[in-house]
Amino acid sequence: MEAIARRAAAPVFVLALFSSAALIFVLQPLFARMVTPLLGGSPAVWNTSMAFFQGALLIGYLYAHLVARLKDLRIQAAVHGIVLLGAWFVLPVHITNALGEPSSEHPVWWLIGVLTLSVGAPFAAASATAPLLQAWYARTGRQDAGDPYYLYAASNLGSFVGLLAYPALIEPLLGAHAQGAAWSLGYVLVGALIALAAAMAITSHGETPKALPHTEPAPSWRERGYWVAAAAVPSALSLAVTQHISTDVASAPMLWVVPLALYLLTFVLAFARGSEKMEGGTLFIHPIALALMIMSYYASGNWIGSVSGILAGFFFSALICHLALARSRPSADRLTEFYLFVSFGGVLGGAFAALLAPLIFNNIYEYPLALAAACLFRPREDSDTPRLVDGSLAAATLVGVLSILLLRWAPLDATLILGALGAGAAVLAAGWSDENRPAIYRYLFLGVAAAHAVLVIYIAFNLPKIFVQAVVNDTTQVVAHQPWGALLMATSFVVLAFAVHGTILPRKDNRRIADWGLGAALASVVLLLLLLIRAGGVDAGLLTVTSILFCGVAIFFNRGRPWSLAAIVLVAFVIIFVDETRGSRVITQERSFFGVLRTREFADRAQPDTPPLRILMHGTTIHGAQIADPRFERQPLTYYHPRTALGEAILAGLSTGPTSNLALIGLGTGSTACLMRPSDHLTIFEIDPAVVRLSARPGGDFTYVPACQPNARIELGDARLQIGEEPNGEFDVIVVDAFSSDAIPAHLLTREAIALYLSKLSDRGIVVLHLSNRNLALVSEAARVAHSLNAAYLYRISDRFEQPYVSYYGGLAASVMIIAKSPETIGTLAINPDWRVFEAPPGRPWTDDYINLPRALWEGLSGAETCRIYTYLRECQAGAAVSDDTPTPDAQPSP
Tell me the three state secondary structure of residue 372: helix
Domain ranges across the chain:
2-212+220-375, 386-558, 639-798+813-891
Tell me the three state secondary structure of residue 696: coil
Print burial letters for 738-755: b (CB count within 10 Å at least 16), e (below 16).
Answer: bbbbbbbbbbbbbbebbe
pLDDT of residue 405: 84
List beta partners, residue 784: none
pLDDT of residue 891: 35
| Sequence-ordered list of residues with C-beta below 8 angstroms from that of 844, at least 6 positions apart, any chain | 784, 850, 852
Write out the DSSP string of 82-141.
HHHHHHHTTPSP---STT-SPPSSSHHHHHHHHHHHHHHHHHHHHHTHHHHHHHHHTTS-
To 5 degrees, how large is the angle CA 63–CA 64–CA 68?
A: 120
| Measured CA distances, 443 to 106, 488, 497, 698 (Å) | 68, 20, 15, 68
| Measured CA distances, 229 to 233, 265, 275, 324 (Å) | 6, 19, 20, 10
Distance CA 707, CA 194 (A): 66
Structural element, H or E, at residue 620:
none
Structural element, H or E, at residue 509:
none
| Sequence-ordered list of residues with C-beta below 8 angstroms from that of 582, at least 6 positions apart, any chain | 406, 407, 540
pLDDT of residue 479: 67
CATH, domain range 639-798+813-891: 3.40.50.150
The rounded average pLDDT for each run of 10 residues, N- to C-terminus, in the chain (895 residues) is 57 83 82 70 70 84 82 83 84 79 73 85 84 75 60 75 80 80 87 84 60 65 91 91 68 65 84 80 91 76 72 92 87 77 88 85 87 92 82 89 83 82 82 68 79 84 72 60 79 82 72 81 85 69 84 90 93 86 79 81 75 83 86 90 93 91 92 93 91 90 93 88 90 85 71 93 93 85 94 92 81 91 88 90 89 83 85 67 39 32
DSSP class of residue 591? E
* Residue 410 and residue 606 in contact, taking contact as beta carbons nearer than 8 Å: no
Task: Tell me which amino acid residue 677 is.
Answer: R
CATH, domain range 2-212+220-375: 1.20.1250.20
pLDDT of residue 248: 54
